[in-house]
Amino acid sequence: MSEKGKGFIEEFKIFITRGNVLDLAVGIIIGGAFTAIVTSLVNDILMPLIGVILGGINFSSLSLTFRGASIGYGAFIQAVINFLLIALTVFVLVKIINSIIRKKEVEKAPAKPDVNTILLTEIRDLLKQQAGDDN
């Protein structure tokens, strides 16, 4: 193999084994599985319930025929609901994760002394300084 080919392969190995590339791949795989779960939730649980509430309407079968073309606006309504539920779920997950991170940061951060402690410390330091000046 030529030197140019070896360099390309080595560069590709470095690229593919970088942490952020692997994290991205895992995120895409998990995202696909998560989308399947939310789609099932919407199509199999929520949409039938919404249909019952609205008088037995099946959104997926809603369509409009215009000059021989069938426009499936029911599928569009389901897609919008899917998007909103996915966005809501991601928002809630991010909010939960951020609150956990904030709690850990607060636990790690040293506690701020209260005003009384600060004043007493200053008084102590001044007394020490005055005692040192008297000698």
User: Would you say residue 65 has pLDDT above 80?
Assistant: yes
C-alpha–C-alpha distance, residues 28 and 65, integer Å: 37
C-alpha–C-alpha distance, residues 14 and 27, integer Å: 20
3-state SS, residue 67: coil
C-alpha–C-alpha distance, residues 33 and 36, integer Å: 5
Q: How many helices (H) and strands (E) does the chain have?
A: 5, 2
At 49, phi and psi to the nearest 5?
-65, -45
Strands (E), 35-119: 64-66, 69-71
Write the CATH number for 18: 1.10.1200.120
Average pLDDT over residues 17-46: 82
Name 70's bridge partners.
65
68: which DSSP letter? T
Query: Domain range holding 118?
Result: 3-134
User: Would you say residue 42 has pLDDT above 70?
Assistant: yes
Predicted local distance difference test score (pLDDT) of residue 82: 78
pLDDT digits (tens, 9 = 90+) for 88-110: 877 888 899 889 988 888 777 77
User: Would you say residue 134 has pLDDT above 70?
Assistant: no
Predicted local distance difference test score (pLDDT) of residue 3: 67
C-alpha–C-alpha distance, residues 17 and 23, integer Å: 10
| Confidence grade of residue 122 (pLDDT, cut at 50, 70, 90) | very high
Total domains in the fold of the chain: 1
Largest CA distance in the chain: 105
User: Would you say residue 13 has pLDDT above 70?
Assistant: yes
Predicted local distance difference test score (pLDDT) of residue 103: 87
Q: Are 86 and 35 in contact (CB under 8 A)?
A: yes
Predicted local distance difference test score (pLDDT) of residue 49: 84
Predicted local distance difference test score (pLDDT) of residue 1: 61
